[in-house]
Chains A and B, each alone.
Chain A
Amino acid sequence: MRKFVILFVSFFGCFYLQAQLTVNYSSGYSTYDTDGMRELLRNIQTSHPISAIGAKNVGNFKASNLIHVIDIGYMFDKHEFGIKAGGYHSTGGKLSVTDYSGAYSNLFIVNGFRAGMYYRGYFYTFRKNVKPLFSFYGEISPGIYLSEFKNERFFIVNDEVLDSAEVESKMNSFSLLAQIGAKFNVTEIFHIHTALGYDIADKTEDENSAFEATYMNWSGIRFSVGVGIAF
């Protein structure tokens, strides 16, 4: 019942304020700093006994990836704010060597999911027939990264398991995304948009890791293109 009351109040508010509810989906490209994890791989690779067995780096923490972002917010006049969910990042690295006598594999996966608030200020709007056709905006989005560190490793020699582990730990870090973008209203409801910015995030260190200096820095460029609806 309380949920219905809240929903009614929201709709009534939006109607009274002449606000629009916007839902945006963006897909884009993001970069991030994986130097820490790469260094971790290098350290492992050069440490004993991994260096002796000649483990090869078969995945070295790719520093860019596609992202998907969903914004849900309210827009009235030149302002839009809401929640921003998305920016799911996933990267990993792996050391591997295998022969008849044994196998070594050490896979690290770091996932980061960003969630936060956003504010957009439309500072320029080109209108056609009074109706806004496209707009430029600036966006500030504070948020947190929900990071997940996974390590799956095994070391088997002569059928004897020397090491085996599947470790998972979760860490959080703050971030602030600043970007500018443009929105093109295809119809009164449907629009497409693009944005380019930079996300500044705290280093996320896996304090539970068995290895030293296991940290991820999700800071990086964010570029996205998406579609949205406003009603």
Chain B
Amino acid sequence: MKKYYIHVTILLLFLVACEYVNEEDYFVEISKPVDKEIVLNLADFPNGDTLYIYKRTELDYQLILPEGELLKKRFTLNREELVPLNDYIVLEPSGDIPYRSVLTLEIEIESGSESIAGKLGLENYIGKFDFTVVFIPDATLHLENVTHHRNDNDFFELTWDKPELEQYTVDKYRIIYSHHRNEYVKEITDPDITYFVDSMAVFGTLQYRIETFFKEAIREPWIDMYTTEIVFPESSVQFEYTGVNSGKISWPKNEYQSKYAFAIGYFGEILYEGTDNYFEIEDIVEFLRDLKVVFPFAYGSGWVELYVLPVTTTDTSRDWPIHHDILITPSLITLEENRGAFKLFTDRSREMLFVNNGKEVWVYDSNNLLLLNHVIVNALPDAWNHLAYCSEESALMLFTYEDCIEQVSYDFKNHERIVFETEEKLDYQKAHLGSNDVVYIRPVVDILPEGEPEVEGKLYAFDLISRELINYFTFPNKWNETVVSRDGKYVALFNNNYPVSSVSVYQFSSDEYTLVYYEDIPLNGQINENMCVYFNEKESNQLFITLAPGSYSNETYAVDLENGNRTPMKRISYICSDPYTGYIVTNHGINCVIYDQTFTRELFKQERTYIDNLFHNFIFTSSVYSPTLYYLDLTNYLER
């Protein structure tokens, strides 16, 4: 109650002395500023969009801002501030960035308003832009499955997979490639077309630069290089016989529609141009002659150039891809490795052609070179510098070696080692078997000290069957050369004494040697000049004397031993003669001429052709440096 009175008293006092009252307000008359928009263009992505970031990406941005002081421009990624560069920000996937992040840009521009809110910054122009950012760090950022194939029209077609990554929207493809030293650019504006047909792409190294452009401005173009090589394997260009003296040169058919141009030799003249992957050679010899190429093709001059060209081009130049190759001539035998020169000998009566190399013996039909037998004779030494003969009388093959002669029957069932009983050591390796089954063999010529008197030479004649010494022939100088005719009828004795050489030809009989020809031959003054003497393989009474064989000044003439007639000198060297036809193979350098048996008529003349043997109109070429025995049938040509 007492408190009540106190309160009443105080109230009364308040009534008479009122509490301070102030209802005055300071009102400021001011107008509200006009709203202005802040516009952000972040790489053309609308606000709120999702950005896919696959690699370090620069995001350009443009801001359209109202007038006023820029108070705030803040990029944040997951609330962590990014430091923008002048007009772009950089986003890059890394291990510690979440797969899905939030990119925010906050912009604040001073409005300049004088209102309370304006002065407090609550009326500023504010822009806030949010983007979802998805980081995909391990995406493949280039075209996948770029490959090529042959399309239905047999053209080269390049294909690839359309990019399927988010926000990699293909705008166009640009393909840059070159042919014939010209660069071509092809643009494909339809993103669904993921192939490109290059009708000029036919061969060689093909390289394409595929540039993939994307509609998103932030996406850098993809650059994909595609390289492929369309080539023929080595030894793809083949020569094959289509008949006697006719042939065909062929090569693999190109995978793509194309035409071909064929040339022999480096920068050679184009011999064929067309869409077929071969061309016929009607006359091989003339073909060789016209081209001045060497037979066999692979024997040093088989370099060929095969232009593989688009069918649409009319230009055949070396700017197009060229397949360089060696034109392979069909070989009778090709060994896996080089084992020295082939030894060829023939049995005329049986028309058998034997080929020996090392321990191997091939037996062919000399008419058509059909292989009759191939045997590895293990009893034969593994030598390369021996000689080989056959006995037409006894059907035996003889192989001469340093210490003996190996005798093998035609059927390879019998083998015998022959060593003749003499007081002197015989030079078996240079033994000669005549078709009369007589083995001619000389002793080993020892080198005597200088000043020693000359020692007479000997040529023993042994019977092949009985191994009995028939007789022997002596001559004054053991350094003289002896040559025995195929039939064993004649022995030519000659020397290379300067300045005058001599040739003596003796006819062999069972008990004596009869001089049937003698000639002194003055040499021309060149110390190193020498001479060689040969007998025709078919007609042994035809003697060939070649001066300076193999040299530029070589000369050869033939002597008929029956009447002593001589043919005129020919500027050639004797090579061999055909035991069947008597045709004489000569050369001058690398130029080859085949004469008839009279040594007067040229049957075959071919520049740059090597011939080692001529059997039954088949020419053979081999080399100690090549494991291949080439052949060419000249029958028709030689018989024309």
Q: Which B residues are in CB contact (< 8 Å) with A49? A: 119-120
Q: Which A residues are in CB contact (< 8 Å) with B24? A: 58-59, 94, 96
Contact A90 B115, beta carbon cutoff 8 Å: no
Q: Which B residues are in CB contact (< 8 Å) with A111? A: 19-20
Q: Which A residues are in CB contact (< 8 Å) with B113? A: 101
Residue in chain A with minimal CB distance to B32: A100
**Is B127 close to A, CB under 8 A?**
no
Contact B117 A98, beta carbon cutoff 8 Å: no
Q: Which A residues are in CB contact (< 8 Å) with B14? A: 88
Contact A58 B22, beta carbon cutoff 8 Å: yes
Residue in chain A with minimal CB distance to B1: A3
A76 to B120 Cα, complex, angstroms: 68
**Is B151 close to A, CB under 8 A?**
no
A177 to chain B, nearest CB (A): 17
Contact A101 B116, beta carbon cutoff 8 Å: yes
Contact B19 A53, beta carbon cutoff 8 Å: no
With A88-B13, A91-B20 as contacts: A98 and B120 at CB distance below 8 Å:
no
Q: Which B residues are in CB contact (< 8 Å) with A88? A: 13-14, 16-17
A109 to B24 Cα, complex, angstroms: 14
With A94-B24, A113-B10, A157-B116 as contacts: A101 and B32 at CB distance below 8 Å:
yes
**Is B267 close to A, CB under 8 A?**
no
With A157-B117, A158-B122 as contacts: A103 and B20 at CB distance below 8 Å:
no
Q: Which B residues are in CB contact (< 8 Å) with A27? A: 16
Contact B116 A96, beta carbon cutoff 8 Å: no
A26 to B613 Cα, complex, angstroms: 164
**Is A66 close to B, CB under 8 A?**
yes
Count A/B pairs, Cβ under 8 Å.
Answer: 98
Q: Can you list 12 A-B contacts (CB < 8 A)?
A: A65-B17, A90-B19, A96-B24, A97-B26, A99-B116, A100-B31, A101-B115, A101-B118, A101-B123, A103-B116, A107-B22, A158-B123
Which of A54-108 touch B at CB < 8 Å?
54-56, 58-59, 62, 65-68, 70, 85-86, 88-94, 96-105, 107
Partner of B25, one of A68, A91, A98: A98
**Is A52 close to B, CB under 8 A?**
yes
Q: Which B residues are in CB contact (< 8 Å) with A100? A: 30-32, 115
Partner of A98, one of B21, B26, B32: B26
Q: Which B residues are in CB contact (< 8 Å) with A52? A: 119-120
Report the count of interface residues on B (CB-CB < 8 A): 29
Residue in chain B with minimal CB distance to A27: B16
Residue in chain B with minimal CB distance to A95: B26
Residue in chain A with minimal CB distance to B30: A99
A44 to B556 Cα, complex, angstroms: 136
B394 to chain A, nearest CB (A): 131
What 9 A-B pairs have minimum CB-CB distances, sorted nearest first? Answer: A92-B20, A101-B117, A56-B26, A101-B115, A102-B116, A59-B22, A88-B17, A99-B28, A90-B20
Contact B26 A90, beta carbon cutoff 8 Å: no
Contact B27 A109, beta carbon cutoff 8 Å: no
Q: Which B residues are in CB contact (< 8 Å) with A158? A: 117, 122-123
Which of B147-178 touch A at CB < 8 Å?
none
Secondary structure of the A contact surface, majority rule: strand
Which residues in A have some Cβ–Cβ distance to B below 8 Å? Answer: 27, 49, 52-56, 58-59, 62, 65-68, 70, 85-86, 88-94, 96-105, 107, 109-111, 113, 157-158
Contact A109 B19, beta carbon cutoff 8 Å: yes
Residue in chain B with minimal CB distance to A48: B120
**Is B18 close to A, CB under 8 A?**
yes
Other A-B contacts than A53-B119, A86-B13, 9 sampled, CB-CB below 8 A, are: A52-B119, A53-B120, A85-B13, A88-B14, A89-B17, A100-B32, A101-B118, A111-B19, A157-B122
Contact B9 A104, beta carbon cutoff 8 Å: no
With A157-B117, A157-B120, A158-B122 as contacts: A97 and B10 at CB distance below 8 Å:
no
Contact A66 B17, beta carbon cutoff 8 Å: yes
| 0/1 interface trace, chain B 38-53, chain A, CB 8 Å (1 if under) | 0000000000000000
Q: Which B residues are in CB contact (< 8 Å) with A102? A: 115-117
Residue of A55, A99, A157 with most partner-chain B CB within 10 A:
A99
Residue in chain B with minimal CB distance to A88: B17
B14 to chain A, nearest CB (A): 7
Contact A68 B13, beta carbon cutoff 8 Å: yes
A158 to B29 Cα, complex, angstroms: 16
Q: Which A residues are in CB contact (< 8 Å) with B26? A: 55-56, 58, 96-98
Residue in chain A with minimal CB distance to B118: A101
With A113-B10, A158-B122 as contacts: A97 and B20 at CB distance below 8 Å:
no
Residue in chain A with minimal CB distance to B18: A90
B347 to chain A, nearest CB (A): 124
Which of B476-527 touch A at CB < 8 Å?
none
Partner of B116, one of A58, A65, A67, A104: A104
A172 to chain B, nearest CB (A): 15
Contact A68 B16, beta carbon cutoff 8 Å: yes
A176 to chain B, nearest CB (A): 21
Residue in chain A with minimal CB distance to B17: A88
Q: Which B residues are in CB contact (< 8 Å) with A94? A: 22, 24
Residue in chain B with minimal CB distance to A111: B19
A52 to B120 Cα, complex, angstroms: 7
A49 to B19 Cα, complex, angstroms: 29
Q: Which A residues are in CB contact (< 8 Å) with B31? A: 100
Residue in chain A with minimal CB distance to B10: A113
B121 to chain A, nearest CB (A): 9
Q: Which B residues are in CB contact (< 8 Å) with A55? A: 26
A99 to chain B, nearest CB (A): 4
A170 to B27 Cα, complex, angstroms: 32
Residue in chain B with minimal CB distance to A157: B117
A155 to chain B, nearest CB (A): 9
